[in-house]
Structure 1
Amino acid sequence: MQVSRPETQRVVITGMGALSPLGLNVGAFWEGLIAGRSGIGPITQFDASGLPVRIAGEVKGFDPTIALSPKEARRMARCSQFAVVAALEAVRDAGFDGFPDPERVGTLIGVGMGGYEVADRQIQIFRTHGLARVSPFALVASIPNMPSHHVSVYFGAKGPIATVAAACATGAQAIGEAAEWIRRGIADIAICGGVEALITDFAIAGFAAMRALSTRNEEPERASRPFDAHRNGFVYAEGAGILVLERLSHARARGARIYAEVLGYGNAADAHHAAAPEPDGAGAARAMRWALQDARIGPEEIDYINAHGTSTRLNDPIETMAIKQVFGETAYRIPISATKSMIGHTMGAAGALGAIATALTLVHQIIHPTINYETPDPECDLDYVPNVARKAGVRRALVNAFGFGGHNVALVLGRWEEDGGEAPITGG
């Protein structure tokens, strides 16, 4: 039996904005992905010469004053600056020049660690120079809900507001929860996604101490290699992915261009370990299975998976195992690619940038590659679209995002058909 949700409960993507190691907008991000270009390089934001890891995915050439006054920018952490600039691209992309009913516009921006660099700098100032030198904006700028706050202020969005902090699953969870707001009827529009901007000595040192980062300092472009047998850790990165979600009936009423439909959202806990995934992949599998159930489709209807694909020894085989649990033999025919192979791990932004990449896959019917895939790993034996982009018919796709603390999130996105929308949702 085929079942269609009413338009008032269907959620579509009408705008997207991105900052990434591949460039300062969505166009540069997508062009780099399809070209299979790496955005990883030597760290320039601080002197990393004394650390075992000296590479990262930096957003080069970022200028917050394209959206903010110098005074406003100085009072914000870099993650909040990222959020406003990427949101501006997304809102303009959606065709809005102001919101006629701001109480129906929600804001849900997630961040993994927030403006820790502000707190760190001000703590050192306080301990060295005393209270008189501490900025009155020190604490306010560093707390994790500030990206949502600054975006809501910038656009005058007066509907629901929230912050997600789910480590590496943050961006995808923000999209899923914002879609739920629209389904529930408490917003018509949501500005949502994830950001991270914390390339600092302490962040690199902390992950290096965990032995989580790649140490391929002499070949940074080849350091992030998800699913490859010779992977040796993820590459730390920064970025922002912001989407404008909209109730379908609202988008149609204003003649909006639609990128894709948010069909399903799954969220499941490992309840296992602070920094390691559940060894049997059960939590990740639950999130994928529940996203499919929410979308009311079967596993055989997924044509592409945007993998979490971190390039760590643990994640990649466990994610592969989880995909096999959900899709069975079908898993071997589904193309899978890892955005992190080119941009590194943007932490709080990762799931949102993965969703943007997936929405563009649905639009252009091209799957970006997993670069640096050279030596197959027997434990990672699926189709990871190695090294070269691939044309493919993709109607429905899955986005995976898994985070420290056992957070597992999956989204199902559907291709938007110009002749009337997504095909009817199947299920009981």
Structure 2
Amino acid sequence: MQLHGTSRINEKGHLEIGSCDAVELVNRFGSPLYVMDEALIRERMRRYVKAFQSTNLPFQVAYASKAFSTLAMCRVVAEEGLHLDVVSDGELFTALQAGFPPDHIYFHGNNKTPQELEMGLEVGIGRFVVDNFVEMRLLNELARQKGKTVRVLLRTTPGVEAHTHNYIQTGQEDSKFGFDLVSGQVLEAVNSALQSDHLALEGFHCHIGSQIFEVDGFRMAIKKLSDFARECEETTGFVTRILNLGGGFGIRYNGDDSPLPVEQYVEAIAEAVRSGFADAEQLPEIWVEPGRSIVGEAGTTLYTVGTIKEIPGVRKYISVDGGMNDNPRTALYQASYEALLANRAPAPPEETVSVAGKLCETGDMLIWDIDLPKVKSGDILAVSCTGAYNYSMANNYNRVRRPAVVFVREGKAELVVRRETLEDLTRNDRLPERMLAAEPFRSS
């Protein structure tokens, strides 16, 4: 397993993250346990800012909170001076509870409810990224009722298919997101926005996909949008002030992944914007929304090995105390991970095993066919690069409790999300009156 950030193997032969011993973390907080390397998170944020500063172009970096959203994470984003992208009232509420400045928040989503739009209007978020005509009309009407003018970007689908998993491609023409560029929907949306009394159009947004390892897709999207921006200015007079290229920058999950350095992505984007808008009086402000590339490699999930099953000549399974409830990505995307035994990290590999979860699904697998030392019940398995879309997609299938989350930094481990209790699982359950009045069980 490749070590990331502050991770190392200590003198006890244990995995250490943020100068905290992984075995001691499990002893203290239990398992499964999400461990987030705070120093690495902050370093990734600063790299994006520094890379854009070197281009001498106007920019804004916003963290995509869908990747991993907690009060502590929102506070880190604020402390580092980034903006925040939310896609639900829950993410917005979390940010507000953390004290995040509303005017540095903008709201995404293909089906924002009236209640979510009203919430954003009431707290005064910075911008809405308008996804469709229904939303545009509704937002304009709600803003009219509140006597406000709302700054908006239009989400576009530029017809660029990034080289990634089908489920996480979002920039192609056939997508649930945004106004289609090829068919002329975007121009129609521009005209509608300009005619809306309570919407102030500022520019365009696109997001071509996730886990992208090349820059050609970004270049192509910028070329299409800059060509459109020129046409749009000629036909409507609207000048593009903001160009939001979304996120999607890839990370290394295993040896087959070859992500580019942050600086290379940023340099390619800046060059493409300069080229595409060379004739413009002023270049638009470049926005990006990294999420996975900020928190993905900073996360490690610690599990305790339980049962072990060997099928001679077929496969050896080791089962851990978590599974697709705390990491559904293997089941969803056929995601691949690296891992090591945190309590015997230097031990050489001796066998090939597959890591199964404890849930009642054949597909509840975390890792297929990984080489590890001879695994024993009670070993601590550390799975790397679980910072993005693990906690955020965790669930209670089989009524399994969601794990705790700790931030580690300079030898200090701080609980930022407590482990759910059994009582939490029934906290929202209600029994109808007729059941309360009846005898709970009848003898046969």
TM-score (norm 2): 0.25
Q: Pick the structure with more strand per residue.
A: 2
Q: Pick the structure with more helix per residue.
A: 1
Q: Larger Cα Rg: Structure 1 or Structure 2?
A: 2
TM-score (norm 1): 0.26
